[in-house]
């Protein structure tokens, strides 16, 4: 379907052509006169997870490495690009219990499109604990990888410290992946946040 503004532009051009034809007495009337282009109704896209769905999603991912990504998405409501652009030292303040959203990642890392997207997001005590556990896991992975480890400084990295560019595609519960985290966090708190993953590699 064409965008509404495109439809309006086409309608205006057709109206102008028919108006000229009417002036030249080529057509008896301008059939585009009085016709309006109305925007189609916007349908809600995506879902917010119910508490039991959140619990089931986290349970199924509990032993997977991307558990932390899922947890953080549900706990903070950050967009995918915002999560992937977070840097540990610059954007994560565990003493104050906040995450500073300054950039987003698409094909490149860049500033958010709107001023309101630059913001500070509070962390719950369990959110702080989850990040601390994640840091501990990263240190263990660094020790095992030794010289092969590349510390990119990003919060979400692979086993060798390289930044993650997208969420894992494998999802045991279709429709309940990380993008639903933002919709969920906007509506309700993550249940059982006092429990975080024991970040054993």
Q: Please, which residues have CB within 8 angstroms of residue 88's CB and are 6 or more apart in sequence?
A: 135, 153, 154, 155
pLDDT value of position 146: 95
How far is Cα 129 from Cα 131, in angstroms, rounded to an integer? 5
The tens digit of pLDDT for each residue in 142-200 reads 999 999 999 999 999 999 999 988 755 544 444 444 455 554 454 544 544 444 445 45
Rounded Cα gap, residues 140 and 145, in angstroms: 9
pLDDT tens over the chain, length 201 residues: 667 778 788 888 888 888 888 888 888 898 888 877 676 665 555 567 788 888 888 888 888 888 999 999 999 999 999 999 999 999 999 999 999 999 999 888 889 888 889 999 999 999 999 999 999 999 999 999 999 999 999 999 999 999 988 755 544 444 444 455 554 454 544 544 444 445 455
- Residue range 51-187, CATH number: 1.10.443.10
The whole-chain average pLDDT of the chain stands at: 81
CA distance 19 to 29: 8
Residue 177 CB partners (closer than 8 Å, separation 6+): 70, 167, 171
What residues have CB less than 8 Å from 139, skipping those under 6 apart? Answer: none
What pLDDT is recorded for position 191? 44
Distance CA 50, CA 150 (A): 38
pLDDT at 162: 94
CB atoms within 10 A of CB 194: 9
pTM over 0.75: no
What 3-state DSSP class applies to 49? Answer: coil
Q: Name the residue ranges covered by the structural domains of the chain.
A: 1-43, 51-187
Whole-number Cα distances in Å, 34 to 12, 13, 15, 37: 11, 14, 10, 10
């Amino acid at each position: 379907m064409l965008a509404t503004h495109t439809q309006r532009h086409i309608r205006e051009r057709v109206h102008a052509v028919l108006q000229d034809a009417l002036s030249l007495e080529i057509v008896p009337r301008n059939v585009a006169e009085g016709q309006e282009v109305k925007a189609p109704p916007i349908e809600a896209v995506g879902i917010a997870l119910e508490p039991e769905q959140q619990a089931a999603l986290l349970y199924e991912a509990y032993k997977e490495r991307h558990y932390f990504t899922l947890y953080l998405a549900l706990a903070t409501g950050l967009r995918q690009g915002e999560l992937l652009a977070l840097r540990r030292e610059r954007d994560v303040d565990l003493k104050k219990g906040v995450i500073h959203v300054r950039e987003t990642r698409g094909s490149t890392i860049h500033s958010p499109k709107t001023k309101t997207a630059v913001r500070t997001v509070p962390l719950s005590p369990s959110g702080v604990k989850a990040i601390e556990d994640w840091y501990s896991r990263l240190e263990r992975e660094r020790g095992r990888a030794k010289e092969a480890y590349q510390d990119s400084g990003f919060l979400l990295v692979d086993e060798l410290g390289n930044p993650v560019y997208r969420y894992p595609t494998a999802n045991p519960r279709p429709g309940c992946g990380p993008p639903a985290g933002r919709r969920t966090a906007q509506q309700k708190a993550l249940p059982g946040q006092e429990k975080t993953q024991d970040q054993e590699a």
